[in-house]
Homo-oligomer: A and B are copies of this chain.
Amino acid sequence: MANPVLPSSGTLSPLGLNAVRLGAGFWGDRVTLDREVIIDHCREWMEREGWIGNFRGERPRRGREFSDSEIYKLLEAMAWAGHPGLPELAGIVARAQEDDGYLNTRWSGSRYTDLEWGHELYCYGHLIQAGVARLRTHGEDELTRTARRAADHVCARFMDTEEVCGHPEVEMALVELYRATGVERYLEMARRFVERRGRPALADIPFGRAYFQDDMPVRRARVFRGHAVRALYLACGAVDVAVETGDRELLKAIETQWEHTVARRTHLTGGMGSRHSDESFGEDFELPPDRAYSETCAGIASIMLAHRLLLATGDVRYADVAERTMYNVLATSVALDGRSFFYVNPLQVRTPAAPPDGVNHAAEGGLRSPWFEVSCCPNNVARTLASLAAYIATGDTSGVQIHHHTPCEIRHLGITLRVETGYPWSGTVKVRVVEGGGPARISLRVPPWADGARLSYGEVSRQVGPGYAVAEGDWRPGREITLDLPMKARWTRPDPRIDALRGCVAVERGPLVYCAESVGDDPPLTDMAVLPEEPVERVVDGIVELDVEAAPMSAGGDGWPYFSASGTPRADGASGVTTLRLVPYHRWGNRGPAAMRVWLPEGH
């Protein structure tokens, strides 16, 4: 089964890349862009930057200490995409492996001397995930052998120590390799890495041990904390271990941490992480729109985690958060042409950025960059899009569950379904039986915002609430199910405890977060408040944009920005009302340097 995550048990079972074929549409188009542009873009940049050359032994070694992992993420992308360049690149990697399975272009002479920052096990994790992808899409070859040898080396070296890696990742990779091969020591190694953490296993660092989740045992934590990608990768590994070992306490612990994090440490876009200095979550309700970090990789990690929790529990809220993050972080990161990326995904940019020039040395930037000194995000986007079909639907002996509505064909239980929809622009989802048939329950996810959704098939037509709407029947070719999700722009307000968003509103429509964008001579957004009347839809090239009313805020003090006053300045509704065009957040920054904001001050 061509699937990045294939648990041996759980409430739902993934269908995978062979059973779900994406067609032209929001996600299918991006998967095509990945196959045709993004993967080659990444390979070219890594050749240019010398990161591939490192494996060929070119000196001086170039790139950061974890750059090997970028080649492995790309190999995973190539495996899922069936990219013809894989064998050559896998061969370059394989030739750098040492006799005992050790493989790292940075630390070869000084193995495991800096577990806090060395990233060696993190790199193996990505290599192993690439190997699993290859095994499940192609079968054994040089890449799968390289990955197996690395995994065997890890087990031999670390099974009986108390060590862990400063960056979690190898845990979920080892569990997946166990799932793909049945070799139990991989699972046991993963279990030990998860359990060792936080006792503590690593040295203290200036950021504190919470940075790499070594401040307390995984099952004792109440919330995700520290470096967001590290925290979420660790949680993925913990869920995988919990599912395979039947550790319900551990699974429950991660569910609780997820709940707390989603309720208090998550941006409207689904993005996670608030701090730039240590790429960390920050505290409860610390959710600044301008300095949101919301790293693309943290968004991807959150999608990976939600998918695992969905499979384990069947709880729709995991699919809801995954969808939000897919449309508003994953889709935002990559430019429409597939050649530049956001590393951080803030919800507000005050000043249009200067166009990037070559490699971006920082994660920051109000414009997408073609490449970064730390280029986890482009490669992570590449492997995620390449395997995206695996996230769309699940199946069991009773039927199919469709979690994400996008044009595709789904084969399961001898029935082939064709999903046709203009989602997320339109809310009508048609599921037609095109081949085969028989009795089955076909479930379609109804998102929580879809008030008044309606499910129709055969003689049935009924209103359906949030969760899964189930069409039950004996299916034959030509039969059709229609799910109508009302797509009405809606105003959204923040929890009053989110200090940075007080007095602001945002607009959402369907799964999409919207934003105001100011490009070129557009009026700046600094002084603008919106009047929350009903937004007016404008369809531009098939994209739904929204017009809202806005008015300038009365200016503040002069010379000193704090003042005694009897009333807070407000938008002056009587004069100066203008129209503000909102665009889908994932499309911002594609028209050149821009100011942008998701959260808009509310006028009266």
Chain A residues in contact with chain B, CB under 8 A?
205-208, 259, 262-264, 266, 268, 275-277, 283-291, 317, 348, 350-351, 361-362, 373, 449, 490-500, 502-504, 506, 526-527, 529, 553-565, 568-569, 599, 601-602
Contacts and interface: CB of A to CB of B under 8 A. Distances in A.
Which of A206, A495, A506, A599 has the most B CB atoms < 10 Å from its CB?
A: A495
Nearest to A293: B277
B502 A503 contact: yes
Contacts of A554: 496
B291 A564 contact: no
Contacts of A277: 276-277
Closest 8 CB pairs of A and B: A495-B556, A495-B561, A502-B503, A206-B361, A503-B503, A276-B277, A496-B553, A277-B277
A499 B498 CA distance: 12
Given A206-B361, A348-B499, A601-B502, A285 B561 contact: yes
Contacts of A555: 495-496
A562 B206 contact: no
A299 to B, nearest CB: 16
A277 to B, nearest CB: 4
B560 A263 contact: yes
Contacts of A449: 564
A496 B568 contact: yes
A466 B554 CA distance: 25
Contacts of A348: 499
A264 B350 CA distance: 13
A561 B503 contact: no
A490 B276 contact: no
Contact of A498 (B206, B362, B559, B561): B561
A64 B565 CA distance: 47
A259 B496 contact: no
Contacts of A557: 495
Contacts of A559: 259, 262-263, 317
A262 B563 contact: no
Contacts of A499: 289-290, 348, 500, 504, 599, 601
A284 to B, nearest CB: 7
Contact of A493 (B264, B493, B564): B564
23 contacts: A207-B362, A259-B559, A262-B560, A263-B558, A264-B561, A268-B562, A275-B291, A285-B350, A286-B350, A287-B561, A289-B499, A449-B564, A492-B563, A493-B562, A495-B555, A495-B557, A495-B562, A496-B601, A497-B553, A497-B561, A498-B561, A499-B599, A502-B601
B283 A350 contact: yes
Nearest to A360: B206
A492 B564 contact: yes
Contacts of A275: 276, 291
A360 to B, nearest CB: 9
Which of A264, A284, A500, A602 has the most B CB atoms < 10 Å from its CB?
A: A500
A569 B496 contact: yes
A263 B599 CA distance: 24
Contacts of A350: 283-286
Contacts of A560: 262-263, 266
Nearest to A361: B206
Contact of A502 (B284, B290, B491, B502): B502
Which of A284, A529, A555, A568 has the most B CB atoms < 10 Å from its CB?
A: A568
Nearest to A350: B283
A560 B289 CA distance: 17
A442 B477 CA distance: 99
B601 A493 contact: no
A277 B205 CA distance: 16
Given A283-B290, A499-B504, 15 more contacts: A263-B559, A283-B351, A284-B351, A289-B499, A492-B562, A492-B564, A493-B563, A493-B565, A494-B556, A494-B562, A496-B554, A496-B569, A498-B556, A502-B601, A568-B602
Nearest to A449: B564
B288 A500 contact: yes
A286 B290 contact: yes
B556 A497 contact: yes
A506 B569 CA distance: 16
B568 A493 contact: yes
A315 to B, nearest CB: 11
B206 A362 contact: yes
Contacts of A289: 499
Contacts of A496: 527, 529, 553-556, 568-569, 601
Contacts of A495: 555-557, 561-563
Contacts of A207: 362
Given A206-B361, A288-B288, A494 B561 contact: yes
Contacts of A568: 493, 496, 503, 602
Contacts of A565: 493
Nearest to A568: B493
A285 B524 CA distance: 14
A558 B448 CA distance: 13
Contacts of A503: 502-503, 568
A323 to B, nearest CB: 13
Contacts of A266: 560-561
Contacts of A529: 496
